Structure 1
């Protein structure tokens, strides 16, 4: 009986997955994603023990990979908690976002300022893009992973990448 239940369960799971044919998946350049996080040279990044140069290189490489993979990316909008949340709000204007993201540097912190900022970002995304899921990466180089997990594309986009909608850094207190 247990084997029958297992076979039935796996059959149902397989049927559910195949119910979404690749032709229903979005194509290259059809999804608009916005990600936010801390600037790599922000004092709070350095205070938490991260290598700012490595974070900077990782974020930029990941953003380029996201565009190459076929997603339109306004990303990353990097800003610390000293910036007014309206800076991010202005970056969301004019686009119907399919996905929104918050980087691990904000979410994974044990710092009070960043916990407050995390809540502010979630509320902003709920207000500005209520239909868009909020995506979470787990390092400076895993935003593409987070996007692909939620939004697989219908084809390989090597020959028709997405659009770079801007990599913005807002920081008055950053080193270097």
Structure 2
């Protein structure tokens, strides 16, 4: 019956499976071996996506979110194959790699901040790096808005003074 059902679904069953001599467990094991994609293929695809990812036109928050999602999938695959006693070491190495990958994919305008972060001892965790990037970005926007206000104020004062003369 199992062979008939699988055949109707378009699943090829090898000739050595006879209805009476094999159990469904053997059949499922065989199907799992044939059709199950390995983690290696998924990991290759994820690593390719991480390699291709760059900040581009994304904000730091958008880029960080996309990066974290890809990295979390990679982490799940890597950690699943590590014995419990090795998880701490693998986690430390993985976090260092994660921070480096994220920072190197930022826009060039963040080079000074990136350099500052990477030369600290100890180098901060990625979460702290992202926080500093956001503060610097928001601080520069804040400064930019103040510099614009100052420029407008000076222009206004100049116009007012020139009218008085």
Establish whether TM, by shorter chain, passes 0.5.
no
Larger helix share, 1 or 2: 2
Provide the TM-score with structure 2 as the length reference: 0.29
Provide the TM-score with structure 1 as the length reference: 0.27
Report 1 or 2 for greater relative contact order, CA contacts < 8 Å, sequence distance ≥ 6.
Answer: 1
